[in-house]
Structure 1
């Protein structure tokens, strides 16, 4: 399989800016609500043509289309607007990677209004029952999986390369813990056609995982282990590589250390642990994205948090994985790869 088929051929930064910016997200949401991207997917058009087909004002349409052009979602030539590849892939309903509903529903920022209360309580705001939080999580998670699958595809390809998948390491037996869309292990699978993966997550999540695996033609190379990652039984000494991508931050320190110990037992003597996480410096003064993500953990979890590479290194050493390397993968933080360092 060609890993290039797994990659995105456009820069994601305009969309990431829109999801992370109040003005940007509101502009994109208005365009989704009005059907602007669907209209331009049919054919390019001037502000007058787009406004006429949608039954909205020319003045407002022109300003909106210019805003979308400035956001690098549309192209403009001689007063005619067209979709750029990023908008065509992510903002036209029916696209495999459609994320318009993520922006449209304002799910990325609705919890931030509760930040002061969450800080006061040291966790999710009081007055929101656990059942209600679970309901919100279940509604949001399918959207989150789609978002993370898109934004992590490039870093996942870089991670597979750093791990030597298909090059220095072939026929990998991979354990994907808290797999979500399986974007990280799918990248390994594309690079190493002989790789086989065991994907671990809640049953409701694995229903979505299967669809992504089938979409990428790897249904016969995956098996599934449903359950809570803290409780599911893992076979001993069976895997060459364990992937923990963007999962430990939600578990917190105690659970993460316990989980790393269990994962270590599931690996062969030469096995490795790959951790993709938000990594602040030890003083938690930067980088900005990881540090601010720590507040997201206060908003949404009881125990979750952000931890430095040094802290993960200490926990990995406890699990008898004392050798830790880091690799830049084009993400907010480097990939950590740990081994026992023994022959």
Structure 2
């Protein structure tokens, strides 16, 4: 008779999910309170003899809180999440918080924290959305109202990605001195302004919905590049363009929000625009391919693949909760490109968790 015992299964994964909700609201509250900005202002005083940082009393005063007790609980929670550092009785920014959570930082995600989950009403109704296959009309309407603020919030992150992609295109010989760029779903204008900064003699045709396009136009104006941008309002599948060909077409974070047929048609339009010599730049968060989440001949384990793609899967679920999209897979991109007479030629990650794919015609010089 065996005396071996098994370790009881604990509830840690369940608590991790529950606490994920709490973690999000801890960060959201800290941003609403200006906690990271207050610590950033303190850090600017480099001459302080005590080395900087704020204790709970001074931090409470800086953010207008009633007393140090609640602030201590919040700040220590942020320490546990890696968003603050603690030194004896003082709290300081971590490098991540300094770069991404201070509102004035060039790469700030402070606004994105609030808007990236989409309409708040989408989440309580997720089960009904899965049953019916589509979000409630009220959720769709809320997303339409939210969208201008959301695209503005993506600007700092996408500017860094676009700048890195421009350098990569130049390295690959795909970035002419006077490029014609079509940005389908231009959003905040981060892509068009970042690309034009590296090629100020270029031209960008910027396409987006009428309630969003002015945001990109303002970004171009603020950057002194408005004369290089042709703004085209409308559906990026239907809008008439002032050019018949382009050197580069950008599809940045748009395919995953579309149903498969519209996404396929959008990629086909992009491939047609770049012709034999141009390149389609697809930026998205691809969820795992169906083949990779099974026990295929390559030995990929579905459990491990899904765990590795947690970020991408959660963003795909965000799409499902509020849009007609289910995310996109690399297999989708390959199939849609092939149907349009093109192929996926390169993939790289210029900024962590920002996946870029290049698609070119099969007749291009690079693939001949």
Counterpart position of 2:58: 49
Which one of 290, 294, 315 corresponds to residue 316 of structure 2? 294
Is the aligned partner of 1:123 residue 2:134?
yes
Displacement after TM superposition at 1:300 (Å): 1.5
Displacement after TM superposition at 1:210 (Å): 1.9
**Larger RCO of the pair (alpha carbons < 8 Å, separation 6+):** 1
Cα distance change on mapping 1:59 and 1:152 into 2, 3 Å: same
Displacement after TM superposition at 1:120 (Å): 0.9
Q: Scaled by the length of structure 2, what TM-score is found? A: 0.74
Alignment of 1:179-258 (within 5 A): 179-235=186-242, 237-258=244-265
Displacement after TM superposition at 1:28 (Å): 2.0
Counterpart position of 2:183: 176
Is the aligned partner of 1:334 residue 2:355?
yes
Contact 1:166–1:191 at 8 Å: present in 2 too? Answer: no
Counterpart position of 2:49: none
Provide the rounded CA distance (Å) in 2 between the counterparts of 1:24 and 1:48: 23
Contact 2:208–2:234 at 8 Å: present in 1 too? Answer: yes
Provide the rounded CA distance (Å) in 2 between the counterparts of 1:270 and 1:70: 51
Q: Scaled by the length of structure 1, what TM-score is found? A: 0.79
Contact 1:27–1:68 at 8 Å: present in 2 too? Answer: yes
Alignment of 1:158-169 (within 5 A): 158-164=164-170, 169=175
**Range that drifts further, 25-34 or 250-259:** 25-34
Contact 1:236–1:267 at 8 Å: present in 2 too? Answer: no
Cα distance change on mapping 1:277 and 1:94 into 2, 3 Å: closer
Provide the rounded CA distance (Å) in 1 between the counterparts of 2:256 and 2:117: 20
Counterpart position of 1:13: none
Displacement after TM superposition at 1:223 (Å): 1.6
Contact 2:343–2:359 at 8 Å: present in 1 too? Answer: yes
Which one of 340, 345, 349 corresponds to residue 319 of structure 1? 340
Which one of 47, 60, 82 corresponds to residue 70 of structure 2? 60
For structure 2, which runs of at least 5 residues remain unmatched after alignment?
Answer: 1-18, 43-52, 294-305
Provide the rounded CA distance (Å) in 1 between the counterparts of 2:151 and 2:211: 12
Counterpart position of 2:24: 25
**Range that drifts further, 199-208 or 324-333:** 324-333
Please give the per-residue CA displacement for 1:172-191, whole angstroms capped at 9, x wherever unaligned: 11000011113233332233
Displacement after TM superposition at 1:255 (Å): 1.3
Provide the rounded CA distance (Å) in 1 between the counterparts of 2:112 and 2:164: 26
Contact 2:208–2:235 at 8 Å: present in 1 too? Answer: yes
For structure 1, which runs of at least 5 residues remain unmatched after alignment?
Answer: 1-19
Provide the rounded CA distance (Å) in 2 between the counterparts of 1:328 and 1:260: 20
Contact 1:99–1:146 at 8 Å: present in 2 too? Answer: no
Residue 220 of structure 1 aligns to a residue whose secondary structure is helix
Counterpart position of 2:331: 310
